Structure 1
Protein backbone atom coordinates (compact mmCIF):
# COMPACT_ATOMS: atom_id res chain seq x y z
CA UNK A 1 0.00 0.00 0.00
CA UNK A 2 1.20 3.50 -0.77
CA UNK A 3 -0.26 5.83 1.82
CA UNK A 4 0.08 9.30 3.33
CA UNK A 5 -1.02 8.11 6.79
CA UNK A 6 -0.01 5.14 8.90
CA UNK A 7 -2.61 2.36 8.47
CA UNK A 8 -4.98 1.89 11.42
CA UNK A 9 -3.97 -1.77 11.66
CA UNK A 10 -0.25 -1.20 11.05
CA UNK A 11 0.65 -4.34 13.01
CA UNK A 12 -0.57 -6.36 10.00
CA UNK A 13 1.90 -4.59 7.71
CA UNK A 14 5.62 -4.24 7.26
CA UNK A 15 6.66 -0.65 6.56
CA UNK A 16 9.05 -0.12 3.65
CA UNK A 17 11.41 2.81 3.28
CA UNK A 18 10.36 5.09 0.44
CA UNK A 19 13.92 6.24 -0.29
CA UNK A 20 15.22 2.73 -0.97
CA UNK A 21 11.98 1.32 -2.38
CA UNK A 22 12.41 -0.78 -5.51
CA UNK A 23 9.38 -2.67 -6.84
CA UNK A 24 11.38 -5.38 -8.57
CA UNK A 25 13.45 -6.13 -5.46
CA UNK A 26 10.36 -6.13 -3.24
CA UNK A 27 8.48 -8.48 -5.57
CA UNK A 28 11.36 -10.98 -5.57
CA UNK A 29 11.61 -10.75 -1.77
CA UNK A 30 7.89 -11.38 -1.29
CA UNK A 31 7.83 -14.27 -3.75
CA UNK A 32 11.02 -15.69 -2.25
CA UNK A 33 10.01 -15.91 1.40
CA UNK A 34 6.70 -14.03 1.88
CA UNK A 35 7.36 -13.00 5.50
CA UNK A 36 4.20 -10.85 5.58
CA UNK A 37 1.13 -10.53 3.45
CA UNK A 38 0.93 -6.73 3.50
CA UNK A 39 3.42 -3.90 3.07
CA UNK A 40 3.11 -0.13 3.08
CA UNK A 41 5.18 2.86 2.05
CA UNK A 42 4.51 6.05 4.02
CA UNK A 43 5.07 9.17 1.91
CA UNK A 44 4.01 12.81 1.61
CA UNK A 45 2.37 12.43 -1.82
CA UNK A 46 1.03 8.95 -2.61
CA UNK A 47 0.05 9.75 -6.19
CA UNK A 48 3.45 11.22 -7.02
CA UNK A 49 5.19 8.20 -5.48
CA UNK A 50 3.02 5.80 -7.50
CA UNK A 51 3.71 7.75 -10.69
CA UNK A 52 7.46 7.55 -10.06
CA UNK A 53 7.26 3.84 -9.25
CA UNK A 54 5.33 3.16 -12.48
CA UNK A 55 8.22 4.60 -14.50
CA UNK A 56 10.51 1.85 -13.20
CA UNK A 57 8.49 -1.08 -14.62
CA UNK A 58 6.36 -2.03 -17.60
CA UNK A 59 2.72 -1.08 -16.97
CA UNK A 60 -0.05 -3.18 -18.55
CA UNK A 61 -3.51 -1.64 -18.68
CA UNK A 62 -6.53 -3.88 -18.18
CA UNK A 63 -10.23 -3.59 -17.36
CA UNK A 64 -12.92 -5.73 -15.85
CA UNK A 65 -16.32 -5.75 -14.25
CA UNK A 66 -18.29 -6.56 -11.14
CA UNK A 67 -21.52 -7.79 -12.71
CA UNK A 68 -24.80 -7.92 -10.79
CA UNK A 69 -27.93 -9.64 -12.07
CA UNK A 70 -31.62 -8.94 -11.43
CA UNK A 71 -31.62 -11.30 -8.43
CA UNK A 72 -28.80 -9.40 -6.72
CA UNK A 73 -26.16 -12.06 -7.39
CA UNK A 74 -22.61 -11.28 -8.52
CA UNK A 75 -20.63 -12.92 -11.31
CA UNK A 76 -17.33 -14.64 -10.48
CA UNK A 77 -14.92 -16.79 -12.44
CA UNK A 78 -12.61 -19.54 -11.21
CA UNK A 79 -9.22 -19.30 -12.88
CA UNK A 80 -5.97 -21.08 -12.05
CA UNK A 81 -7.22 -22.27 -8.68
CA UNK A 82 -8.60 -18.94 -7.43
CA UNK A 83 -11.87 -17.02 -7.56
CA UNK A 84 -11.57 -13.90 -9.67
CA UNK A 85 -13.61 -11.29 -11.49
CA UNK A 86 -13.65 -11.20 -15.29
CA UNK A 87 -10.97 -8.86 -16.62
CA UNK A 88 -8.24 -8.67 -19.22
CA UNK A 89 -5.71 -6.54 -21.07
CA UNK A 90 -6.94 -3.63 -23.13
CA UNK A 91 -6.44 -3.88 -26.86
CA UNK A 92 -4.57 -1.13 -28.70
CA UNK A 93 -6.70 2.02 -28.85
CA UNK A 94 -9.50 0.46 -26.77
CA UNK A 95 -11.19 2.53 -24.07
CA UNK A 96 -11.26 0.95 -20.62
CA UNK A 97 -15.09 0.82 -20.55
CA UNK A 98 -15.16 -1.03 -23.88
CA UNK A 99 -12.43 -3.44 -22.80
CA UNK A 100 -14.21 -4.20 -19.53
CA UNK A 101 -17.43 -5.17 -21.33
CA UNK A 102 -15.56 -7.19 -23.96
CA UNK A 103 -13.63 -9.15 -21.34
CA UNK A 104 -16.76 -9.97 -19.30
CA UNK A 105 -18.54 -11.15 -22.44
CA UNK A 106 -15.59 -13.23 -23.67
CA UNK A 107 -14.72 -14.81 -20.34
CA UNK A 108 -18.27 -15.58 -19.22
CA UNK A 109 -20.20 -16.15 -22.45
CA UNK A 110 -22.94 -13.57 -21.80
CA UNK A 111 -23.88 -10.26 -23.39
CA UNK A 112 -23.61 -7.17 -21.17
CA UNK A 113 -24.11 -4.40 -23.70
CA UNK A 114 -22.85 -1.41 -21.74
CA UNK A 115 -20.66 -0.43 -18.85
CA UNK A 116 -21.72 1.22 -15.60
CA UNK A 117 -19.78 3.61 -13.38
CA UNK A 118 -16.14 3.09 -12.45
CA UNK A 119 -15.62 1.42 -9.07
CA UNK A 120 -11.86 1.71 -8.58
CA UNK A 121 -8.45 1.26 -10.17
CA UNK A 122 -6.33 -1.55 -8.77
CA UNK A 123 -2.69 -2.42 -9.22
CA UNK A 124 -0.95 -5.76 -8.92
CA UNK A 125 2.50 -7.05 -9.72
CA UNK A 126 3.48 -10.26 -11.49
CA UNK A 127 6.09 -11.52 -13.94
CA UNK A 128 6.02 -12.14 -17.68
CA UNK A 129 8.99 -14.15 -18.97
CA UNK A 130 10.96 -13.21 -15.86
CA UNK A 131 10.19 -9.47 -16.10
CA UNK A 132 8.35 -7.80 -13.22
CA UNK A 133 5.34 -5.87 -14.56
CA UNK A 134 2.61 -3.77 -12.96
CA UNK A 135 -0.98 -4.31 -14.09
CA UNK A 136 -3.30 -1.33 -13.72
CA UNK A 137 -6.91 -2.49 -13.89
CA UNK A 138 -9.99 -0.30 -14.26
CA UNK A 139 -13.06 -1.86 -12.62
CA UNK A 140 -16.67 -1.03 -13.52
CA UNK A 141 -20.12 -1.80 -12.22
CA UNK A 142 -22.25 -3.75 -14.71
CA UNK A 143 -25.79 -5.06 -14.78
CA UNK A 144 -26.98 -8.20 -16.51
CA UNK A 145 -30.55 -8.87 -17.52
CA UNK A 146 -31.12 -12.28 -19.00
CA UNK A 147 -30.91 -16.00 -18.44
CA UNK A 148 -28.14 -17.06 -20.80
CA UNK A 149 -26.11 -20.07 -19.77
CA UNK A 150 -22.68 -19.08 -18.45
CA UNK A 151 -19.77 -20.39 -20.51
CA UNK A 152 -16.22 -20.23 -19.10
CA UNK A 153 -13.46 -19.25 -21.53
CA UNK A 154 -11.41 -22.43 -21.10
CA UNK A 155 -8.52 -21.20 -23.27
CA UNK A 156 -7.96 -18.42 -20.68
CA UNK A 157 -7.69 -20.95 -17.84
CA UNK A 158 -11.24 -20.32 -16.61
CA UNK A 159 -12.87 -23.54 -15.41
CA UNK A 160 -16.02 -22.16 -13.76
CA UNK A 161 -18.29 -19.12 -14.05
CA UNK A 162 -20.85 -18.70 -11.32
CA UNK A 163 -23.46 -16.29 -9.93
CA UNK A 164 -22.97 -15.89 -6.18
CA UNK A 165 -25.12 -14.17 -3.61
CA UNK A 166 -23.71 -11.97 -0.83
CA UNK A 167 -23.47 -14.90 1.58
CA UNK A 168 -21.03 -16.64 -0.81
CA UNK A 169 -18.69 -13.67 -1.12
CA UNK A 170 -16.74 -14.40 2.07
CA UNK A 171 -15.94 -17.83 0.59
CA UNK A 172 -14.64 -16.07 -2.52
CA UNK A 173 -12.59 -13.68 -0.37
CA UNK A 174 -10.89 -16.64 1.28
CA UNK A 175 -9.46 -17.75 -2.07
CA UNK A 176 -8.87 -14.69 -4.22
CA UNK A 177 -6.37 -11.88 -4.84
CA UNK A 178 -5.94 -8.67 -2.79
CA UNK A 179 -6.94 -6.53 -5.80
CA UNK A 180 -10.25 -8.43 -6.08
CA UNK A 181 -10.86 -7.90 -2.36
CA UNK A 182 -10.32 -4.18 -2.95
CA UNK A 183 -13.04 -4.13 -5.62
CA UNK A 184 -15.43 -5.96 -3.28
CA UNK A 185 -14.58 -3.59 -0.42
CA UNK A 186 -15.36 -0.55 -2.56
CA UNK A 187 -18.85 -1.99 -3.18
CA UNK A 188 -19.34 -2.77 0.54
CA UNK A 189 -19.39 -6.50 -0.06
CA UNK A 190 -16.67 -7.33 2.51
CA UNK A 191 -15.72 -6.29 6.00
CA UNK A 192 -12.82 -3.81 5.98
CA UNK A 193 -9.49 -5.57 5.44
CA UNK A 194 -6.07 -4.18 4.45
CA UNK A 195 -5.66 -4.51 0.68
CA UNK A 196 -5.57 -1.32 -1.40
CA UNK A 197 -2.28 -0.33 -2.99
CA UNK A 198 -3.02 3.38 -2.92
CA UNK A 199 -4.88 5.39 -0.29
Structure 2
Protein backbone atom coordinates (compact mmCIF):
# COMPACT_ATOMS: atom_id res chain seq x y z
CA UNK A 1 0.00 0.00 0.00
CA UNK A 2 1.17 3.51 -0.81
CA UNK A 3 0.18 6.15 1.73
CA UNK A 4 -0.25 9.45 -0.09
CA UNK A 5 -1.27 12.50 1.91
CA UNK A 6 -3.30 15.20 0.24
CA UNK A 7 -3.33 18.34 2.35
CA UNK A 8 -2.44 16.01 5.28
CA UNK A 9 -5.50 13.80 4.59
CA UNK A 10 -4.92 10.16 3.65
CA UNK A 11 -5.37 8.83 0.13
CA UNK A 12 -4.17 5.24 0.24
CA UNK A 13 -3.38 3.34 -2.95
CA UNK A 14 -4.12 -0.30 -2.22
CA UNK A 15 -4.76 -3.75 -3.69
CA UNK A 16 -6.81 -4.85 -0.67
CA UNK A 17 -10.18 -3.63 0.46
CA UNK A 18 -11.06 -3.90 4.09
CA UNK A 19 -14.76 -3.76 4.88
CA UNK A 20 -14.30 -2.25 8.34
CA UNK A 21 -13.17 1.15 7.20
CA UNK A 22 -14.53 4.67 7.20
CA UNK A 23 -12.48 5.46 4.10
CA UNK A 24 -14.34 6.18 0.88
CA UNK A 25 -13.30 3.52 -1.61
CA UNK A 26 -12.83 4.24 -5.31
CA UNK A 27 -11.95 1.84 -8.10
CA UNK A 28 -9.09 3.06 -10.25
CA UNK A 29 -10.79 2.23 -13.56
CA UNK A 30 -14.00 4.04 -12.70
CA UNK A 31 -12.73 7.39 -11.37
CA UNK A 32 -10.47 10.27 -12.24
CA UNK A 33 -7.70 10.44 -9.62
CA UNK A 34 -7.34 14.18 -10.09
CA UNK A 35 -11.04 14.71 -9.27
CA UNK A 36 -10.61 12.77 -6.02
CA UNK A 37 -7.61 14.94 -5.11
CA UNK A 38 -9.54 18.14 -5.85
CA UNK A 39 -12.40 16.93 -3.63
CA UNK A 40 -10.00 16.15 -0.79
CA UNK A 41 -8.58 19.67 -1.10
CA UNK A 42 -12.13 21.05 -0.98
CA UNK A 43 -12.81 19.00 2.18
CA UNK A 44 -15.56 17.05 0.39
CA UNK A 45 -13.65 13.82 1.07
CA UNK A 46 -11.84 13.29 4.38
CA UNK A 47 -10.07 10.01 3.63
CA UNK A 48 -10.07 7.72 0.64
CA UNK A 49 -8.69 4.48 -0.75
CA UNK A 50 -8.00 3.91 -4.42
CA UNK A 51 -8.25 0.25 -5.30
CA UNK A 52 -6.65 -1.73 -8.11
CA UNK A 53 -5.26 -5.31 -8.03
CA UNK A 54 -1.85 -3.85 -8.94
CA UNK A 55 -0.82 -1.01 -6.57
CA UNK A 56 1.99 0.04 -8.91
CA UNK A 57 -0.61 0.69 -11.61
CA UNK A 58 -2.37 3.19 -9.30
CA UNK A 59 0.92 5.01 -8.60
CA UNK A 60 1.69 5.05 -12.34
CA UNK A 61 -1.71 6.60 -13.05
CA UNK A 62 -1.25 9.18 -10.29
CA UNK A 63 2.17 10.17 -11.65
CA UNK A 64 0.70 10.47 -15.16
CA UNK A 65 -2.01 12.86 -13.92
CA UNK A 66 0.04 15.06 -11.59
CA UNK A 67 3.60 16.37 -12.08
CA UNK A 68 6.10 14.78 -9.71
CA UNK A 69 8.81 16.59 -7.82
CA UNK A 70 11.54 14.64 -6.06
CA UNK A 71 12.98 15.66 -2.71
CA UNK A 72 15.52 14.35 -0.22
CA UNK A 73 15.45 14.72 3.54
CA UNK A 74 17.16 13.63 6.71
CA UNK A 75 16.23 12.08 10.02
CA UNK A 76 19.40 13.23 11.77
CA UNK A 77 20.72 12.00 15.12
CA UNK A 78 23.45 13.67 17.15
CA UNK A 79 25.87 11.91 19.50
CA UNK A 80 23.31 12.10 22.34
CA UNK A 81 20.68 10.31 20.25
CA UNK A 82 18.56 13.46 19.84
CA UNK A 83 16.77 14.10 16.54
CA UNK A 84 17.08 17.29 14.48
CA UNK A 85 13.71 19.02 13.91
CA UNK A 86 12.82 22.29 12.21
CA UNK A 87 9.80 24.47 13.05
CA UNK A 88 8.08 26.06 10.05
CA UNK A 89 4.51 27.12 9.21
CA UNK A 90 3.48 26.44 12.81
CA UNK A 91 4.51 22.77 12.73
CA UNK A 92 7.49 20.58 13.57
CA UNK A 93 9.05 19.09 10.46
CA UNK A 94 12.26 17.44 9.32
CA UNK A 95 14.75 19.13 6.96
CA UNK A 96 14.18 18.27 3.32
CA UNK A 97 14.15 19.89 -0.10
CA UNK A 98 14.04 19.47 -3.85
CA UNK A 99 16.63 17.70 -5.94
CA UNK A 100 18.85 19.78 -8.22
CA UNK A 101 19.70 18.81 -11.79
CA UNK A 102 22.30 16.05 -11.97
CA UNK A 103 22.32 15.54 -8.19
CA UNK A 104 22.20 12.15 -6.48
CA UNK A 105 19.27 11.95 -4.06
CA UNK A 106 21.59 11.19 -1.09
CA UNK A 107 23.53 14.39 -1.87
CA UNK A 108 20.23 16.32 -2.02
CA UNK A 109 19.23 15.07 1.43
CA UNK A 110 22.58 16.01 2.99
CA UNK A 111 22.71 19.40 1.26
CA UNK A 112 19.18 20.28 2.37
CA UNK A 113 19.87 19.32 6.00
CA UNK A 114 22.95 21.54 5.96
CA UNK A 115 21.22 24.48 4.22
CA UNK A 116 18.07 24.41 6.35
CA UNK A 117 19.71 23.85 9.74
CA UNK A 118 23.42 24.69 9.48
CA UNK A 119 24.20 21.18 10.75
CA UNK A 120 27.05 19.49 8.88
CA UNK A 121 29.47 16.59 9.50
CA UNK A 122 26.72 14.25 8.29
CA UNK A 123 26.96 10.54 7.55
CA UNK A 124 24.09 8.55 6.00
CA UNK A 125 23.52 5.40 8.06
CA UNK A 126 20.30 4.05 6.57
CA UNK A 127 17.80 4.54 3.74
CA UNK A 128 14.29 5.06 5.10
CA UNK A 129 10.93 4.83 3.36
CA UNK A 130 9.76 7.31 0.75
CA UNK A 131 6.83 9.55 1.63
CA UNK A 132 4.24 10.94 -0.77
CA UNK A 133 2.17 14.06 -0.54
CA UNK A 134 0.16 16.19 -2.91
CA UNK A 135 0.31 19.95 -2.56
CA UNK A 136 -1.03 22.86 -4.54
CA UNK A 137 1.18 25.71 -5.71
CA UNK A 138 0.13 28.53 -8.06
CA UNK A 139 -3.13 26.71 -8.71
CA UNK A 140 -1.39 23.48 -9.81
CA UNK A 141 -1.27 20.17 -7.99
CA UNK A 142 2.05 18.40 -7.55
CA UNK A 143 3.04 15.06 -6.10
CA UNK A 144 6.12 15.33 -3.91
CA UNK A 145 8.06 12.10 -3.42
CA UNK A 146 10.57 12.51 -0.60
CA UNK A 147 13.43 10.04 -0.18
CA UNK A 148 14.41 9.93 3.50
CA UNK A 149 17.74 8.95 4.98
CA UNK A 150 18.76 8.31 8.54
CA UNK A 151 21.91 10.27 9.33
CA UNK A 152 24.38 10.76 12.14
CA UNK A 153 26.10 14.07 12.82
CA UNK A 154 29.05 14.97 15.03
CA UNK A 155 28.15 18.69 14.72
CA UNK A 156 28.76 20.50 18.02
CA UNK A 157 27.62 24.07 17.28
CA UNK A 158 24.23 25.78 17.44
CA UNK A 159 21.89 24.94 14.53
CA UNK A 160 20.65 27.95 12.52
CA UNK A 161 17.32 27.89 10.67
CA UNK A 162 17.35 29.05 7.04
CA UNK A 163 15.25 32.20 7.24
CA UNK A 164 14.49 32.47 3.51
CA UNK A 165 12.88 29.02 3.77
CA UNK A 166 10.66 30.28 6.60
CA UNK A 167 12.33 28.14 9.27
CA UNK A 168 11.61 29.79 12.61
CA UNK A 169 13.68 27.47 14.77
CA UNK A 170 15.83 24.36 14.72
CA UNK A 171 16.02 22.03 17.71
CA UNK A 172 17.59 18.76 18.79
CA UNK A 173 14.69 16.90 20.39
CA UNK A 174 15.21 14.14 22.94
CA UNK A 175 13.55 10.78 22.08
CA UNK A 176 11.26 11.16 25.12
CA UNK A 177 9.96 14.52 23.76
CA UNK A 178 9.46 13.39 20.14
CA UNK A 179 5.89 12.02 20.64
CA UNK A 180 4.86 15.49 21.88
CA UNK A 181 6.48 17.21 18.87
CA UNK A 182 4.78 14.75 16.49
CA UNK A 183 1.35 15.81 17.80
CA UNK A 184 2.04 19.07 15.97
CA UNK A 185 3.62 17.67 12.81
CA UNK A 186 2.64 16.19 9.44
CA UNK A 187 1.29 12.70 8.78
CA UNK A 188 4.25 11.91 6.52
CA UNK A 189 6.72 12.79 9.28
CA UNK A 190 4.83 10.58 11.76
CA UNK A 191 5.24 7.64 9.35
CA UNK A 192 9.02 7.88 9.65
CA UNK A 193 8.80 7.32 13.40
CA UNK A 194 6.29 4.44 13.28
CA UNK A 195 8.92 1.74 13.56
CA UNK A 196 11.18 3.71 15.93
CA UNK A 197 10.76 2.56 19.50
CA UNK A 198 9.87 5.90 21.04
CA UNK A 199 9.08 6.28 24.73
CA UNK A 200 5.37 6.99 25.04
Global fold match (TM > 0.5): yes
> Structure 1, unaligned stretches of length 5 or more?
192-199
1:149 aligns with one of 158, 165, 180 = 158
Larger strand fraction of residues: 2
TM-score, length of structure 1 as denominator length: 0.86
What is the aligned partner in structure 1 of residue 16 from structure 2?
A: 5
Residue pair 2:175, 2:199 contacting (<8 A) in 1 also: no
Deviations 1:107-159 (A, max 9, x none): 01110333222101111001121011100110000001131101001110110
Give the Å deviation of 1:48. Answer: 2.2
Give the Å deviation of 1:82. Answer: 1.1
Which range is displaced more, 41-50 or 148-157?
A: 41-50
| Pair 1:109-2:118 in alignment | yes
Gap change, CA 1:52 and 1:146, over 3 Å in 2: same
TM-score, length of structure 2 as denominator length: 0.86
Give the Å deviation of 1:162. Answer: 0.7
Give the Å deviation of 1:173. Answer: 2.0
What is the aligned partner in structure 1 of residue 4 from structure 2?
A: none
Gap change, CA 1:50 and 1:74, over 3 Å in 2: same
Instruction: Summarize the alignment of residues 1-199 of structure 1 with structure 2, pairs less than 5 Å apart.
Output: 1-6=12-17, 10-11=21-22, 13-33=23-43, 35-36=45-46, 38-189=47-198
Give the Å deviation of 1:9. Answer: 6.4
> Structure 2, unaligned stretches of length 5 or more?
1-11
Supply the distance in 2 between the matched residues of 1:111 and 1:121 (Cα, whole angstroms).
23
Supply the distance in 1 between the matched residues of 2:55 and 2:123 (Cα, whole angstroms).
32
Residue pair 2:109, 2:149 contacting (<8 A) in 1 also: yes
Supply the distance in 2 between the matched residues of 1:20 and 1:181 (Cα, whole angstroms).
32
Q: Give the aligned CA root-mean-square deviation in angstroms.
A: 2.0
Supply the distance in 2 between the matched residues of 1:8 and 1:105 (Cα, whole angstroms).
45
SS at match of 2:76: strand
Deviations 1:46-69 (A, max 9, x none): 112202210111100000010011
Residue pair 1:108, 1:151 contacting (<8 A) in 2 also: yes
